[in-house]
Chain A
Amino acid sequence: MALIITEEQKLLRDSATEFLAMNAPIEQFRELRDDNYRAFDEGLWTKLVEMGWTALTIPEEFDGLEFGYTGLGQVLEEMGKNLTKAPLFSSIVLGATTLTESSNQELKAAWLTHLMDGTKRFAFALDEQTYFDPTSIATTAKKANNQYTLSGKKTMIIDGASADAFVVVAKTEDNEINLFLVEAKTAGISISTDVLLDAGTYASVTFDQVKVSEANRISTAGQGSNLLNQILNTACICLSAEMLGMVSEVFDQTIAYLKEREQFGKRIGTYQALQHRAAIMFSEIELCKSVVIKGLQAIDEKSEDLDQLASLAKAKLGKTIKLVTNEAMQMHGGIGVTDDVNIGFYFKRARVLQRLFGDYSYHLDRFARLNKY
């Protein structure tokens, strides 16, 4: 398959660019942060739903658009450019994907419509410790009389404070990974929140003897690990698309600054010390574009290389976004480290995305293991 987007995907991208410039420019990010770290604007969420963005990856069978992840990736990239805050990643990329990738038809029928129309939102409860390790899960799900009892503590839950239900990754008594759908109002759930470096609010949720019906077990026996792996691959590639948007935007702003800022009587972009570093960033970004489109297409094609491509994308983008945000700050000089300009927002958000779902060294190690060395 050609590594370019189709006409339809390009149209979607253009409409996203236009929509976000109008409705959710970077200034909105600052306003929300200054409004006591507000998670997102509910009015914007309604509009995103009207744009159809929540339906892009939902199968036609459930009244979705079945437009694919390559399309959704274009939207996420544009959102990355604007640092748009909305629960699209948490509720659709993580939440809806969990259901669409599962074989649980009842839960799909019960929830997908509501996720699409935005009236209900999911949050994904996986992490338990400081370093990302999806294989070490201490949360337990014990079965008795057709229901499970969940116990454990989850952290770093994106948009967890406002979710209607959690997808919880837990271990059943057979030591298998399983995924459960747990409504937020269920007894035994307590939620606390932390604000992270990126001004985002992340939830920690304690599940204390929480009862979940058999019907709410999303994964079928023995399939939990595969389902989780599929969701994580999708998450890594979609986050990479968002990071690509951020990288491109920060780079463009920096190049513009090099062309305008004068020191020693010359525009600073005339200095070779900066020119070559800009050209190196350009080269790395060219590589990023390729691995993101390849990864997005691989999700849509259900490629056998998905594991490898997800790690390639997350590692490459993680490394490059670190380079580009650091260089952007340095090249902006003093103004770059002030809160008056937006460079710092990208720098801070980058550090969070670098670490979510595995950092550079995690994915480099996974890539090596997948290649058997």
Chain B
Amino acid sequence: METMTKSDLKEFRSETKRWLEENCPTSMRTPPKEFADLYWGGRNSTFSSEDQKNWFTKMLEKKWIVPYWDTQYGGGGLSPEENNILTQEMIRIGCRKPLFSFGISMLGPALHQFANKEQKMRFLPDITSGKTWWCQGYSEPNAGSDLAGLQTKAEDKGDHYLVSGSKVWTSYADKADWIFCLVRTDFEATKHNGISFLLIDMKSAGVSTRPIKLISGKSPFCETFFDGVKVPKENLIGTLNDGWTIAKYLLTHERQMIGGVGETDVRKAVHEIALENMPSKDGILSDSILRSEIAEIEMNDAVFEMTIQRITDEAKTGVNAGALSSFFKYYGTEQNVARMELISSITGTNGLLWESDNKDAVSVVRTFCRSKGNTIEGGTSEVQLGIISKRILNLPS
């Protein structure tokens, strides 16, 4: 790729600005409010409006569904600088993502890193075109924090693997077309060394799903069952029995996503919610105890954001920040849970409304309940603290 000069980038920005202005419908420039506002692609997804369809189609034609992937996979082939500019310009006018996809954020990076040429050509273009909705099959009923203890087995039957077992916490498994799975291919080896990374078509005979209801109500989570499912051997990614390497690589991505790293902050400040809901005198909240709890949360939010910036800046100078994803996941989610608990208190009895016309209040209580899972999913806080103490502090085991 040719190096872009500063003036080239300037031109790219103004051209991008013009194009987005022209092609992004006004209704696609508001924050998504409900599930229907997100388009996930795949055979089970429908557009909820003409605007949503148009926006997706325009971006697809422009190859900007995944703008930074190579053009041979249907990506836009943009350089990191160009991609940054595109992201900034989309955020500036509030464009929604045209496609929500674990294929882009999770499976794609792993395929780029570990799949062979043929597999890349087979799977990546269907991600960039939104044809395949991918879900993730990692955890099992008896392998949560101890993920490597997973027992779903894939037996070698010559030209295929025979998969039996079950997965849990598979988001949108009831809607997805394909699942990327960790399966056990060697029962003799030590637990980290007998795992493989397998792609399975959800239409295969023997696959079934059951939705999971959470304390917050309906959820995207499912249980997924594999009852003697035949999976072609060419669906194995990477080396047989070395799937843990891919799993670790992906978990790092996932932790950063859950920890909120790299997301734009559109939340209303906690103190603004407090001023709307609680008594105050001369602009000072009257409840001094809740007031200091709010200040503490906001202080830590502000300093955590600085920390994301500092570590990103350090990484650019070559400092290895890999192990710090556990710190981000730990701190970001603990902070989120504490924030939701506080917002719930601030809103008083409104913060208890479960079914009501007051949709905003209901959303607070549902989000509050949902947040309790943040410090569990993607590796519990305790698992993250264990990783920090072993990998960063090198404490003995």
List the interface of chain A (C-beta within 8 A of B).
Answer: 2-4, 255, 258-259, 267, 269-270, 272, 274-276, 278-280, 282-283, 286-287, 289-291, 293-294, 312, 315-316, 361, 364-365, 367-369, 371-373
List the interface of chain B (C-beta within 8 A of A).
Answer: 269, 271, 274-275, 280, 283-285, 291-292, 294-296, 298-300, 302-304, 306-307, 309-311, 313-314, 316-317, 324, 327, 330-331, 382, 384-386, 388-390, 392-397
Q: Is B385 in contact with A373, judged by CB distance below 8 angstroms?
A: no
Please report the C-alpha to C-alpha distance between residue A290 and residue B389 in the assembled complex, in whole angstroms. 21
B296: contacting residue among A269, A280, A287, A364, CB under 8 A: A364
Contact A282/B313 with A275-B385, A294-B306, A373-B294 known, Cβ cut-off 8 Å: no
Q: Is A293 in contact with B296, judged by CB distance below 8 angstroms?
A: no
Closest A residue to B285 by CB, please name it.
A373
Q: Is A293 in contact with B310, judged by CB distance below 8 angstroms?
A: yes
Q: Is B393 in contact with A255, judged by CB distance below 8 angstroms?
A: yes
User: Which secondary structure dominates chain A's binding surface?
Assistant: helix
8 interchain pairs, CB-CB under 8 A: A259-B394, A259-B396, A275-B395, A276-B386, A278-B389, A287-B307, A291-B306, A368-B285
CB of B176 to closest CB in A, whole Å: 35
Q: Is A373 in contact with B396, judged by CB distance below 8 angstroms?
A: no
Chain A residues in 8 Å Cβ range of B314:
4
Q: Is A255 in contact with B395, judged by CB distance below 8 angstroms?
A: yes
CB of B315 to closest CB in A, whole Å: 10
A4: contacting residue among B294, B310, B327, B386, CB under 8 A: B310
A3: contacting residue among B280, B298, B300, B306, CB under 8 A: B306
Contact A365/B395 with A282-B388, A290-B310 known, Cβ cut-off 8 Å: no
Closest 4 CB pairs of A and B: A275-B389, A3-B310, A279-B388, A290-B306
Please report the C-alpha to C-alpha distance between residue A364 and residue B274 in the assembled complex, in whole angstroms. 16
Chain B residues in 8 Å Cβ range of A258:
395
Chain A residues in 8 Å Cβ range of B284:
368-369, 373
Closest B residue to A284 by CB, please name it.
B331
A367: contacting residue among B285, B295, B306, CB under 8 A: B295
Q: Is A373 in contact with B291, judged by CB distance below 8 angstroms?
A: yes
Contact A312/B299 with A278-B393, A290-B307, A373-B283 known, Cβ cut-off 8 Å: yes
B302: contacting residue among A3, A255, A286, A312, CB under 8 A: A312
Chain B residues in 8 Å Cβ range of A369:
284
Closest A residue to B288 by CB, please name it.
A365
Q: Is B309 in contact with A3, judged by CB distance below 8 angstroms?
A: yes
Chain B residues in 8 Å Cβ range of A289:
307, 310
In addition to A272-B386, A279-B385, A279-B386, 11 A-B residue pairs with Cβ atoms within 8 Å of each other are: A2-B316, A3-B313, A259-B396, A276-B385, A279-B389, A287-B331, A290-B310, A364-B295, A368-B271, A368-B285, A368-B292
B393: contacting residue among A279, A361, A368, CB under 8 A: A279
Q: Is B393 in contact with A364, judged by CB distance below 8 angstroms?
A: no
A283: contacting residue among B292, B296, B309, B327, CB under 8 A: B327
Chain A residues in 8 Å Cβ range of B298:
367, 371
CB of A295 to closest CB in B, whole Å: 10
Please report the C-alpha to C-alpha distance between residue A294 and residue B308 in the assembled complex, in whole angstroms. 12
Please report the C-alpha to C-alpha distance between residue A2 and residue B315 in the assembled complex, in whole angstroms. 11
CB of B116 to closest CB in A, whole Å: 38
Q: Is A282 in contact with B327, judged by CB distance below 8 angstroms?
A: yes
